């Protein structure tokens, strides 16, 4: 981004010297994303000035890329006419995103300056449940009829194409608007004028219901290599499309959510540097508190075996190693399964396959670690055979339990409708800690009496 | 996938009864991804039979979706003519993917049955470093010249469009093949026949160098809302395009790699259920071993303070809670920063901003936990003021250190060229364990003498 920072002083100079023509040329060469980042560094008044110099479509695209706060500030400075011009250039799905983030008075002003049909469409999309296909779709697509010829189709595309988010894929519907096929612009342009849509359209069209979860929607883009996905209602009537840029955002957002949950953080939308200290604290605190209190059990187990520890203080020294190795073994399994579940490489039905595979891996890993540990205890720590035996066999059992717990808990969580990502390292560690300590002391009891 | 499983018996029946026409109709209605999954459940001979019944383009697309083992088996059963037909339908980037996975003798047979130009292109792409833009691009795109009219362009697209992976975006080059702009099929079809490409093309074209890392390439699709990205050499000459389906795969793969690294697993390509026990063991073992041996330090610290622990055995009971809370606090910070780094929401230059934010969060979180813990120790555990003070103040310091270490280590790792994802929970926990124990005993020394 160094290139952009170099420009900044030039632009400030041009603003000061009122060289608007040069300014317009300079900033019009940017793409919306870089321009939005560039504008972030200017004062509000300069932003408005620069914004007014942009060609309308670039201005609208840049507006979409800005953060909510700056969008709000800009809307406040816009005249009604300017607001209408921006709204005019926006795609419906981007408008819905903006409306969702704005305070009520701004929303009111946006809707007041929209056409009635836009207003209705926005309200319609806002009515779909959060995170559903309906909530991320746009209603601007090209619909064709099967009896049209290529010439008819091209004429229709030319007529409504400018307002449609994509025309690369057009959808074919019957007389009651039911989705019956699709045809790509590529096919249209590579075909003879007199061909009919019916002859050329693909009928095995993949679609989703308006209420489908957005994570599933995003997965379908990856699975079927789509760039656009039609959204239909319960009667298979075409209501909109989801384009891949929105699916991409969903994929990134859902992945971030998974990673946050796996690290015991309540997911939230804003980028890290834009979150307040209090927001970060709020998203992390409950989990730390719950996990801290859960660790009380581990403390209670140790307290119960105080006598053993007082007699063999050396045993205390190996508690951290046992706990960490247990935690790590469990995290490996849970992270693998959680990721497998979200990529649909693993499903609940595979639970016995997973258990079988993990138990083999667990025994192999546990044995390797136990043997290395035993040799280290005997040769370097020189703790004596009994202690080495106690620590190493606890280690073996800990690894096996950790991998069993780590691999099954996420699957069970998903089965009963929880997000499997919660069953990651922190929870697994807390559970495995307690179990492995119990084994530690039981084995000590058996070996040392 | 229940729908597919229902079909299976029907299909087996149709094979047995040699109802090939009905069979052909049934399976031709599938899309490549579902068909590949369906075929997985059949025997090799049936797969070949079904495969031969498919239209050529669907057969090739389905072939791309199959796993490497089944692809190899199919190639082995293909006649040279059949192999040529499949190769003919494949896009170059898919062919490269297949060639990369196949054993030498199969590769030889594939190349023998390819045209000379295909052979050369494959070798050319294979020469780019793994994970570079060059290695995931395809060379099949539509190149236009700026002096062409829309009619010329449409004629050119019609001529070479069938063999190009996408024609939705066409690239404009000068007379030495340097990339100077792009034009979408949408613009072409919405424009007058007599317009020239020069009048209509966009000149602020975003491109990547052939050697750019594929993770950066994938990021650019998200940032700039692209569906295709041109790849240029060091002289800005156009050599290929990356399409969004490949970028999507890269994004999913890189995310999986991050999650695996964060859980102390060496990343590998195959889906979980297809990996052997030994492969899984190999990818997990080294990390467990390193981390186990690192935990020795923690043990050594405890050993040095054996006397203190023997005098105040109650202190032992709080070691797991301190370690777990430290680990969890550190994981929260490291996971947040690692994800921020890979989304480019956080960069190394922000390190002081991050440290400042994390220290505020750390103090706030640490104080909350310490106070709750203190109350619990006094009221429920009834350990006495000194012990409650020792445990709670260690907790506060542990949380602060954990958040500092957890947030800075990933950034430093990235700065010196390591993958920040390695600096996640397991490593942070090991480091924080040792530091927090030292503080535990030092504070004990101060409070109890």
Q: Are A404 and A358 contacting, i.e. CB atoms less than 8 angstroms apart?
A: yes
Query: Cα–Cα distance between A249 and A247 in angstroms, integer?
Result: 5
Q: Are A169 and A185 contacting, i.e. CB atoms less than 8 angstroms apart?
A: yes
SS3 B229: strand
Q: Is this prediction's pTM over 0.80?
A: yes
* Residue whose structure tokens are 């898919």: B94
Query: Cα–Cα distance between B217 and B247 in angstroms, integer?
Result: 7
Q: Is B349 on the interface with A (CB under 8 A)?
A: no
DSSP calls for A379-390: III---HHHHHH
Query: Cα–Cα distance between B129 and A300 in angstroms, integer?
Result: 55
A286 CA: distance to closest CA in chain B (Å): 10
Q: Are A445 and A308 contacting, i.e. CB atoms less than 8 angstroms apart?
A: yes
- pLDDT, residue B130, reads 87
Residue A4 has pLDDT above 60, yes or no: no
A positions 27-56 inside 8 Å of B (CB): 29-31, 33
Nearest residue of A to residue B30, measured between CA atoms: A204
CB contact under 8 A, B161 and A262: no
Residue B1 has pLDDT above 60, yes or no: no
- pLDDT, residue B74, reads 87
Average pLDDT over residues B215-241: 92
- pLDDT, residue B231, reads 94
Which of A44-48, B23-27, B44-48, B356-360 has the highest mean predicted lDDT (pLDDT)? B356-360
**Which of B202, B229, B260, B323 is the best substitution to test chain A (most A C-beta atoms within 10 A)?**
B323
Task: Kindly report, residue by residue over A44-69, the tens digit of the pLDDT.
Answer: 888 888 888 888 888 888 988 888 88
Q: Are A264 and A229 contacting, i.e. CB atoms less than 8 angstroms apart?
A: no
Nearest residue of B to residue A428, measured between CA atoms: B324
- Paired strand residues for A172: A144, A181
Residue A416, judged by CB atoms within 10 A of its CB (0-12, 13-18, 19+), counts as exposed
Q: Could you give the strand order of the β-sheet that contains B238-243, starting from the edge strand earlier in sequence?
A: B208-209, B228-232, B238-243
Q: Which two tokens stand for residue A226?
A: 């789509």
Express as a percent the part of chain A with pLDDT over 90. Answer: 47
Closest CA to B406 of B444, B440, B436, B376: B436
- pLDDT, residue A412, reads 94
Give A38's contacts (C-beta < 8 A, 6+ positions apart): A4, A7, A8, A11, A27, A30
A positions 259-318 inside 8 Å of B (CB): 259-260, 262-265, 271-273, 277-278, 280-281, 284-285, 287-289, 291-293, 295-296, 298-300, 302-303, 306, 309-310, 313-314, 316-318
- Which residue among B298, B346, B361 places its CB closest to the CB of A320? B298
Average pLDDT over residues A351-366: 95
CA dihedral for A103, A105, A107, A110, sign (positive or negative): negative
Helices (H) and strands (E) in chain A, counts: 23, 6
- Which residue among B31, B264, B273 places its CB closest to the CB of A328? B264
Query: Cα–Cα distance between B357 and A19 in angstroms, integer?
Result: 40
Express as a percent the part of chain B with pLDDT over 90. Answer: 47
Residue A111 has pLDDT above 60, yes or no: yes
Q: Is B325 on the interface with A (CB under 8 A)?
A: yes
Task: Kindly report, residue by residue over A225-277, the tens digit of the pLDDT.
Answer: 899 999 999 999 999 999 999 999 999 999 999 999 999 999 988 888 888 99
Residue B223 has pLDDT above 50, yes or no: yes
CB contact under 8 A, A433 and B291: no
**Which of A299, A374, A441 is the best substitution to test chain B (most B C-beta atoms within 10 A)?**
A299
Residues in B closer than 8 angstroms to A332, CB to CB, are: 263-265, 284, 287-288
B positions 187-246 inside 8 Å of A (CB): 189-190, 203-204, 206, 221-225, 227, 244-245
Q: Which pairs from A344-347 meet CB under 8 Å and 24+ separation?
A: A344/A219, A344/A223, A345/B271, A345/B272, A345/B273, A346/A411, A346/B272, A346/B273
A positions 52-111 inside 8 Å of B (CB): none
Average pLDDT over residues A354-382: 94
- Which residue among B162, B353, B376 places its CB closest to the CB of A190? B162
Q: Could you give the strand order of the β-sheet that contains A179-184, starting from the edge strand earlier in sequence?
A: A143-145, A169-173, A179-184
Residue B379 has pLDDT above 50, yes or no: yes
- pLDDT, residue B2, reads 39
- pLDDT, residue A214, reads 93
Q: Which two tokens stand for residue A368?
A: 């390797």
- pLDDT, residue B278, reads 92
Closest CA to A425 of B367, B329, B322: B329
Give B186's contacts (C-beta < 8 A, 6+ positions apart): A161, A166, A167, A168, A185, B168
Q: Could you tell me how many CB contacts below 8 A there are between chain A and chain B?
A: 337
Residues in B closer than 8 angstroms to A289, CB to CB, are: 368-369, 372
Average pLDDT over residues B337-352: 92
Q: Is B375 on the interface with A (CB under 8 A)?
A: no
What domains sit in chain B, N to C, each tagged with a CATH number? 2-127 (1.25.60.10), 143-245 (3.10.580.10), 272-448 (1.10.357.20)
Strands A179-184 and A208-209: unpaired
Express as a percent the part of chain A with pLDDT over 70. Answer: 98
Helices (H) and strands (E) in chain B, counts: 23, 6
Residue B160 has pLDDT above 90, yes or no: no
CB contact under 8 A, A162 and B293: no
Residue A1 has pLDDT above 70, yes or no: no
Q: Are A391 and A346 contacting, i.e. CB atoms less than 8 angstroms apart?
A: no
Query: Cα–Cα distance between B370 and B363 in angstroms, integer?
Result: 10
Closest CA to A312 of A207, A434, A441: A441
Query: Cα–Cα distance between B342 and B421 in angstroms, integer?
Result: 9
* Residue whose structure tokens are 């969580």: A413
Query: Cα–Cα distance between B39 and B402 in angstroms, integer?
Result: 51
Task: Kindly report, residue by residue over A139-197, the tens digit of the pLDDT.
Answer: 888 899 999 999 999 888 888 776 777 888 999 999 889 999 999 988 888 888 889 99
Nearest residue of A to residue B291, measured between CA atoms: A325
CB contact under 8 A, A350 and B262: no
Residue B360, judged by CB atoms within 10 A of its CB (0-12, 13-18, 19+), counts as middle
- pLDDT, residue A210, reads 93
Of A4-8, A392-396, B22-26, the poorest mean pLDDT is in A4-8
Closest CA to B431 of B358, B302, B327: B327
Task: Kindly report, residue by residue over A120-138, the tens digit of the pLDDT.
Answer: 888 888 889 988 999 999 8
CB contact under 8 A, B186 and A334: no
- pLDDT, residue A3, reads 45
DSSP class of residue A239 equals E
Query: Cα–Cα distance between B325 and A197 in angstroms, integer?
Result: 64
């Amino acid at each position: 981004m160094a290139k952009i920072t170099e420009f900044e002083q030039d632009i400030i100079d041009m603003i000061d010297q009122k060289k608007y023509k040069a300014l317009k040329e300079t900033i019009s060469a940017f793409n919306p994303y870089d321009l939005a980042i560039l504008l972030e560094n200017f004062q509000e008044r300069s932003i408005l000035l620069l914004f007014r110099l942009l060609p309308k479509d670039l201005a609208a695209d840049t507006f979409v890329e800005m953060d909510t706060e700056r969008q709000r500030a800009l809307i406040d400075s816009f005249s009604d006419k300017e607001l209408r011009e921006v709204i005019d250039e926006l795609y419906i799905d981007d408008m819905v995103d903006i409306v969702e983030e704005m305070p009520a008075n701004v929303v009111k002003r946006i809707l007041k300056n929209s056409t009635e049909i836009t207003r209705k469409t926005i309200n319609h999309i806002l009515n779909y449940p959060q995170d559903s296909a309906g909530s991320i779709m746009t209603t601007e697509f090209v619909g064709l009829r099967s009896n049209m010829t290529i010439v008819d189709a091209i004429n229709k595309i030319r007529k409504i194409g400018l307002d449609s988010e994509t025309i690369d894929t057009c959808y074919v519907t019957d007389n009651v608007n039911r989705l019956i096929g699709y045809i790509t612009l590529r096919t249209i342009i590579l075909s003879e004028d007199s061909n009919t849509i019916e002859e050329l359209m693909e009928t095995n069209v993949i679609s989703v219901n308006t209420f489908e979860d957005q994570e599933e929607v995003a997965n379908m883009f990856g699975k079927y290599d789509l760039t656009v996905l039609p959204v239909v209602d319960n009667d298979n009537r075409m209501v909109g499309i989801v384009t891949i840029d929105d699916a991409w955002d969903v994929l990134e957002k859902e992945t971030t959510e998974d990673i946050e949950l796996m690290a015991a953080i309540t997911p939230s939308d804003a980028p890290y540097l834009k979150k307040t200290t209090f927001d970060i604290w709020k998203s992390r605190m409950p989990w730390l508190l719950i996990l801290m209190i859960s660790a009380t059990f581990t403390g209670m187990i140790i307290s119960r075996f105080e006598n053993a520890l007082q007699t063999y203080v050396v045993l205390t020294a190996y508690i951290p190693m046992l706990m960490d190795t247990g935690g790590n073994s469990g995290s490996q399994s849970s992270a693998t399964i959680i990721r497998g579940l979200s990529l649909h490489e693993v499903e609940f039905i595979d639970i016995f396959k997973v258990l079988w595979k993990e138990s083999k891996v667990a025994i192999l890993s546990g044995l390797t670690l136990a043997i290395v540990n035993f040799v280290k205890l005997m040769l370097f720590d020189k703790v004596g055979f009994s202690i080495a035996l106690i620590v190493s066999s606890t280690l073996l059992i800990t690894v096996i339990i950790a991998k069993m717990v780590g691999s099954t808990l996420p699957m069970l969580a998903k089965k009963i409708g929880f997000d499997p990502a919660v069953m990651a390292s922190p929870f697994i560690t807390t559970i495995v800690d307690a179990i492995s300590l119990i084994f530690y002391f039981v084995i000590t009891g058996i070996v040392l009496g």
